[in-house]
Amino acid sequence: MTSRPRLNRAALGALPPGVERPGYALGLLTTGIVHLGLGAFHRAHQALYTDMVMRPEEPVWGISGVSLRSEETARALAPQDGIYTILERGAETRCRVIGCLTGTIGPTGLTELARYRLADPAVRIVSLTVTEKAYCRDPDGGGLDRAHPAIEADLRAPRTPRSAIGIIVEGLRRRLEDGAPPLAVVSCDNLTANGRELRRIVLDYAAALSPGLAARIDAVTRFPCTMVDRIVPATTDADRDTVAELTGQFDAWPVVGEPFRQWVIEDDFPSGRPAWEEAGAELVADVRPFEDMKLRLLNGAHTAIACIGLLCGLQTVSEAMACDVVAGFADRLMQDAAETLDPAAALDWRGYRTALLERFRNPGLRHLTAQIASDTSQKLSARILPVVAARLAAGRPIDRHAFVMAAWIRLLEGSDEGGRRLEISDPGAGPLRTAAGAPAAVAAADILGRRNLFGETGGDRRVVAAVSAALEDIRCCGVLAAAERCGRSVP
């Protein structure tokens, strides 16, 4: 593999005919978007949409990608002129080379980013895929957590910010100072009402510096909500080998995705945007119904599959879905969740559920259960608890969603049912691990009673009782036997 020529701009002409490539001149590309969080998901999703609709006569929507925590992506893509490959794994395996990155910035370049790149009048959009943690939200009130170490540091030195929120505000301040055109700041993270949440946090931070600054930012900046959906598993060396075989070139930093992709966007861009709808994006007035369906069906089922699968020693989603118990439980869980969706939105949840089951079974994707289970302590509030609250309000059973929370608490004990140690990244779960080993009723009450994570719904006695019973059943009989009983219980 390493003996092959390195993928870069000069090598594009040597790509085999079957490999899709940019349809515009890379040498004419200019930066119109700055993206914070240059991870695999962005490169397999928003960057792909942008690359597909870049007009040869007006290549003005190039993306300057920013890695906030690691230099690894910037180092890997620099020798490749920012070019990389998307490997699409489905019934067929396909490759597309993406060329819309105009540059990459790592942590050492963040000061330059805030001072100059974000202030560039040619930049019209700032987008983010930084995960829930990077929004630095107050766990109690939901606004800015001013006690967060990153926020505290940036408020002390606002001209040299390191956090995503601090960088955005400093960039917006400089644009106001310079008279640059207004921006759309676009969250593409799995947060409920992500644009409204981002606006609230940005304005909280700006107000901490100056109430006048917050008012000026709010007057001109837009924060459209979005919903994103594509399964993007971690890239492996085997994936790099496949890319080399299909393209004849070595790509150090390809990404892998499933054939399915979806992007729903509120159309609120004060200074223009790419024609993303030409690549299949849906531009709408209100994202909320789509967001609810995705969070409650896809993300909720994903969490269930990951937690149950990990306890059984199953490493990937497709392996877990090959187990009839897991697949049946996930299907019924989605049906429960669908009952809580807004009927006025007329969403085709049945078709969506069928598509999800097919996607989950895709053997071409090695989507790790441990990857999905990361940061579950931060995810349950959006994926599971809204369904629980809605079903309680409607007088409906909550057994299956309570079971997911119980399986997660069992995961916190740190080993699967075969005694193998589990390594799951979830910094927010640190204080919970000791509590998880207590008797079921004690563990459920202690963990779910933490309002900063689970609000009023988690502490509801009916929720605590249901989770406690499920946890006891998992510990007593094993997760598969318990899931089978729960999966076929009365809906």
Domain ranges of the chain: 9-284, 288-487
CATH fold label, 9-284: Rossmann fold (3.40.50)
* Mean pLDDT of the chain, nearest integer: 94
Exposed / middle / buried, residue 177 (Cβ in 10 Å: 0-12, 13-18, 19+): exposed
Q: What is the pTM of this model?
A: 0.85
CA quadruple 163, 190, 360, 457: dihedral sign: positive
What pLDDT is stored for residue 469 in this prediction? 97
What pLDDT is stored for residue 149 in this prediction? 96
C-alpha 324, offset from chain centre: 28
3-state secondary structure of 292: helix
* 251: nearest Cα among 430, 96, 477: 96
How far is residue 101's CA from residue 29's CA, in Å, rounded to a whole number? 9
What pLDDT is stored for residue 491 in this prediction? 59
Ranges of the chain with pLDDT below 50: 1
Contact present, 282 and 264 (Cβ < 8 Å):
yes
Distances (CA, A) of 267 to 133, 196, 223, 226: 26, 14, 10, 9
How far is residue 7's CA from residue 82's CA, in Å, rounded to a whole number? 10
CATH fold label, 288-487: N-(1-d-carboxylethyl)-l-norvaline Dehydrogenase; domain 2 (1.10.1040)
What pLDDT is stored for residue 482 in this prediction? 97
Token code pair at residue 290: 């789509």
Q: How many CB atoms lie within 10 A of CB 71?
A: 15
What pLDDT is stored for residue 416 in this prediction? 95
Distances (CA, A) of 325 to 101, 180, 200, 359, 470: 43, 57, 42, 17, 16
What pLDDT is stored for residue 481 in this prediction? 97
How far is residue 97's CA from residue 30's CA, in Å, rounded to a whole number? 18
What pLDDT is stored for residue 487 in this prediction? 79
Residue 64: partners with Cβ closer than 8 Å, 6 or more residues away = 31, 33, 34, 35, 101, 102, 103, 104, 105, 117, 123
Contact present, 347 and 341 (Cβ < 8 Å):
yes
